[in-house]
Structure 1
Amino acid sequence: MATPQVPQIFSPHRRHLARRRADPGEVSYVLDDMVDDVVERLGFIRFEPARPLIVGDRTGRFAATYPGAEAADPTDGFADEQPFAEGAYDFIACLGTLDTVNDLPGALVHLRNALEPGALMIASFVGGGSLRQLRDIMAAADGERTAPRIHPQVDVRAGAELLQRTGFADPVVDSHPLSVRYSSLARLVGDLRAQGLSNVLVDRGPPLGKAALKRARDRFDELSDSEGKLLESFEIITLSGRRPKPRF
């Protein structure tokens, strides 16, 4: 029987380019938040992994905290949707990468299999409650002919179903907001690009013309506060679970 074809929502090539262009030395508050959260969780359970794999931390902050960590990133050839070292790690953190893979269940299965039995995975990414203001702005810009501008995103409920479907033990899904104020639409979009969070859809939609860009800027101004700042929010979704131990 033929293997079902995975829908190609995201462009691997554009995803690779977006991450290569990202500059954590310039802007990294989304990734910083994820790193801080994972380090705090490990501290809370008093666990210091001996053989951790850290995917996506381009700041190097996690490796500085745990010097034995193996770092990986899609821009360095790490393939989220391909099998890798079976049972090789006692902890895996996957930071800001799983929201743009086409086969998310498959990627989670590969992460689970890379853990030794009983070992923990934590995966964080930008989730479904994110960028509501920007969605509004883009809808105003496009008018009646809406175009794909922002990625489809996983919410907490879907995350819980994914962990169960992919065979993790002790599955936990939670989320928290990260709010940021922007002084202009250009700054908001620039920050997204600097963090590798720009549009990497296969069908990215047409570029905004002058009239559409003006509508976008006008809508930004309408949504801004008395100081001319727009409050935007990211929802950080965190999935955690363990590779089941064998039953005898």
Structure 2
Amino acid sequence: MDTPDIFDRRARRTRRDRAARDYHRFDFLRGAMLDGIAERLGAVTRDFGDVAELGCFDGILPVPAGGRVLRIDAGGRFAAMAGGIQADEDRLPVADASVDLVLSAGVLDSVNDVPGALALIRRALRPDGLFLGAFVGGGSLATLRTALAAAEPGRAVARTHPMIDVRAAGDLLLRAGFALPVADSEPLTVRYGDLFGLFRDLRGMAAGNVLADRVPLTRAAIMAVAAAFADRADPDGRIAERFDLIFMTGWAPAPGQPQPARRGSATASLASALLG
């Protein structure tokens, strides 16, 4: 029996299409993710011939010199802008063992089947191929979540997306069969004059609510949330909102890769090291 979708696939595609034209004005979060991915990729001393980018947005993510890139996006307009193809990340039309590097920035937090998407990514990689991904997760949008709870106490409605924290990200990489998995996070704080500035950014970066069971906010509820959001302003009147950027690194298994030490194989105890 199929598990019901958490996210509305059609709404997700539509939101991405609407955001495509002016996305360059709202790409600061993805820009921070791309910087982090570039830093991690720069530490890798090997060549990557065939590259797949999942969630290509406007196609500005650079690929290693000489690399051939297949760009994929759930939104048709983003895919067209980048010269790529349209597909959901958990329904990848990529052959097994066909690419050396998979990059993804800013989309895995709204994919219905994240474990399935990661398994497909691993299968698409050739042995010793690399996956580098980043998305918004962890404790992001804490101020908005608090304001929503204050404005609508006791109402169990779908307002914000469930989020993957850094520990869960590492577990997901292991579950998908990646070797040498690493997950880490970097915080980014953005300060707003009011709730509507935050809403404008979320809409502009195609990060609005696309939950399958979402319930629209009424006008009265929006004003209540705006007041609760404003109550959390700093002395200068600006409200801080936090985004946790989660980064994932994993390798397709291959002979000769370093292996983690077998549990219990240490020859000296931690206590001896600390006390000695």
TM-score (norm 1): 0.91
1:130 corresponds, among 133, 140, 148, to 140
Q: Higher relative CO (CA 8 A, sep ≥ 6), structure 1 or 2? A: 1
Corresponding residue for residue 183 of structure 1: 193
CA contact (8 A) 2:13 2:74 kept: yes
Which consecutive residues of structure 1, in runs of 5 or more, have no partner in the other structure?
Answer: none
The Cα offsets for residues 126-180 of structure 1, whole Å up to 9 and x where unpaired, read as: 1121000000111122233242111001111111111111111111111111111
User: How much has 1:48 moved relative to structure 2?
Assistant: 4.7
The Cα offsets for residues 91-147 of structure 1, whole Å up to 9 and x where unpaired, read as: 101111111112111111110111111110011111121000000111122233242
d(CA) in 1 for partners of 2:5 and 2:59? 30
The percentage of counterpart residues that share the same residue type is 37
CA contact (8 A) 1:42 1:48 kept: no
What is the Cα-based RMSD across aligned positions, in Å?
A: 1.8
CA contact (8 A) 2:104 2:133 kept: yes
Q: Which of the pair has more CA radius of gyration?
A: 2
Q: Does 1:213 align with 2:222?
A: yes
Flag as ranges the 4+ runs of structure 1 deviating above 3 A.
63-68
Q: State the one-letter code of the partner of 1:138.
A: L
Paired positions, count: 243
Report SS of the residue matched to 2:35: helix
User: How much has 1:79 moved relative to structure 2?
Assistant: 2.6
Corresponding residue for residue 107 of structure 1: 117
TM-score (norm 2): 0.82
Report SS of the residue matched to 2:61: helix
2:8 corresponds, among 1, 8, 11, to 11
Q: State the one-letter code of the partner of 1:99.
A: D
CA contact (8 A) 1:105 1:162 kept: yes
2:128 corresponds, among 118, 138, 147, to 118
Residues 136 and 157 (structure 1), Cα distance of their counterparts in 2 relative to 1, 3 Å cut: same
1:232 corresponds, among 241, 251, 255, to 241
The Cα offsets for residues 34-66 of structure 1, whole Å up to 9 and x where unpaired, read as: 111111111122445222111223243323775
